[in-house]
A and B are shown apart, each in its own frame.
Chain A
Amino acid sequence: MNNDAGNNNYLMDDGLKIGKYTFKSRLIVGTGKYPDFQIMKDSAIASGAEIITVAVRRIDFNAKDNMLSYIDLDRFTLLPNTAGCYTAEDAVNTLMLTRELEVFKTDLVKLEVIGDAKTLYPDNEELIKAAKILVKEGFTVMPYMMDDPVLAKKLEDIGCPVVMPLASPIGSGLGIRNPYNIKIIKETVSVPVIVDAGVGTASDACKTMELGVDGILINTAIAGANNPVKMALAMKQGVEAGRLAYLSGRIPMKLYAQASTQMEGIVF
């Protein structure tokens, strides 16, 4: 796409800061649920993401294909998650394993401690317990959390350099259900806010970024689309458009029309 504004200052963005790390892209994408690894790879590239999330699992000796052969480790930072962990202990142990995996080149970890299988909502108590341990261990902890400003502040105080409230349940595609809470979280904490889970399509991504959040993490909405690679590009553009719109400062909404054409010099 030709973009004449591409090389000038209008697009200047200081990037997404997570602890000691800075990324140009404000979109993080997951690697789960793709039809195959080639589509996963093409989608990740199309999304422009620099961080991709992965799980930590027992090796499947019968697997026909190796996921790693589709991931360029010079291009992507791998972010391990704790999906499926229901206790702080399991989440901490899972992430401790990542220290032995050389594919992880940073200490960034996505911490999720699930409290309920149906909603996949996090367990706040276990989340805080795990976050405290992991911060002490020296990890850069990125916690997946409810859209709760009080919890966000607690996680910031523990030492999480970012908070990741959900927009709506994981994989639901419901979009942002409580934009006001996300705005309050953004005003409550001074660390970056990344909305994690629930974005369904590019307009959701755009609207979320327009709220002023610092980034978005998306998996299902891309992987589950009929054409994941196209959706990945749509999400990239949605995130960029939303960020630019936020930085631009939108006009206030008015009840009545306000002519955009001048009245002076009217002929008839």
Chain B
Amino acid sequence: MKLYINGKEFEVAENLSVRLLIDNFKLDIKSTAVAVNKEIVPKSGYAGFILKEDDKVDLVSIAPGG
């Protein structure tokens, strides 16, 4: 199915959880925050949150700033 991750289109397997998505991108779970369709997904819900076709996913971390 098609997902938009950080603004870019990605083709992923059906029934993908947020947890698995983070693993697929090899991201450190402690320094990654997730929003799906602009709604924040709490860490405790990563495994149970199943992504749907056309979901807009934001994978977020820290960046340089003042």
Query: Chain A interface (Cβ within 8 Å of chain B)?
Result: 30-34, 40, 53-59, 61, 67-68, 78, 80-81, 83, 93, 96-103, 170-171, 197, 217, 219-220
A31 near B64: Cβ-Cβ < 8 Å: yes
A58 in contact with B60 given A93-B38, A100-B40, A101-B32 (CB within 8 Å):
yes
B62 near A219: Cβ-Cβ < 8 Å: no
Q: Which positions 37-61 of chain B face chain A at CB distance < 8 Å?
A: 38, 40-43, 58-61
Q: Please, how many angstroms separate the alpha-carbon atoms of A58 and B65 in the complex?
A: 13
A32 in contact with B65 given A59-B59, A97-B60, A100-B42 (CB within 8 Å):
yes
Q: In the complex, how many angstroms separate the beta carbon of A267 from the nearest chain B beta carbon?
A: 60
Q: Please, how many angstroms separate the alpha-carbon atoms of A54 and B35 in the complex?
A: 19
A31 near B66: Cβ-Cβ < 8 Å: yes
A103 in contact with B30 given A54-B64, A219-B66 (CB within 8 Å):
yes
Please indicate which of the listed interface residues A30, A57, A96, A217 has the most CB atoms of chain B within 10 Å of its own CB: A57
Nearest A residue to B38 via CB reads A93
Please indicate which of the listed interface residues B28, B35, B58, B65 has the most CB atoms of chain A within 10 Å of its own CB: B65
Does chain A have a CB within 8 A of B27?
yes
A61 near B6: Cβ-Cβ < 8 Å: yes
A54 in contact with B62 given A59-B6, A97-B35, A100-B33 (CB within 8 Å):
yes
A31 in contact with B33 given A56-B60, A58-B60 (CB within 8 Å):
no
Q: Please, how many angstroms separate the alpha-carbon atoms of A61 and B64 in the complex?
A: 15
Nearest A residue to B42 via CB reads A100
B66 near A98: Cβ-Cβ < 8 Å: no
Q: Please, how many angstroms separate the alpha-carbon atoms of A87 and B33 in the complex?
A: 21
Residues of chain A with a CB closer than 8 A to B65's CB: 30-32, 53-55, 81, 83, 219
Starting from the known contacts A58-B58, A58-B59, A97-B60, 4 additional A-B residue pairs (CB-CB under 8 Å) come to A32-B65, A59-B27, A61-B6, A98-B33
Nearest A residue to B41 via CB reads A100
Q: Please, how many angstroms separate the alpha-carbon atoms of A92 and B27 in the complex?
A: 24
Q: In the complex, how many angstroms separate the beta carbon of A237 from the nearest chain B beta carbon?
A: 21
Nearest A residue to B61 via CB reads A59
Residues of chain B with a CB closer than 8 A to A96's CB: 40
Q: In the complex, how many angstroms separate the beta carbon of B42 from the nearest chain A beta carbon?
A: 7
Nearest A residue to B7 via CB reads A58
Nearest B residue to A96 via CB reads B40
A34 near B64: Cβ-Cβ < 8 Å: yes
Does chain A have a CB within 8 A of B13?
no
Nearest A residue to B43 via CB reads A100
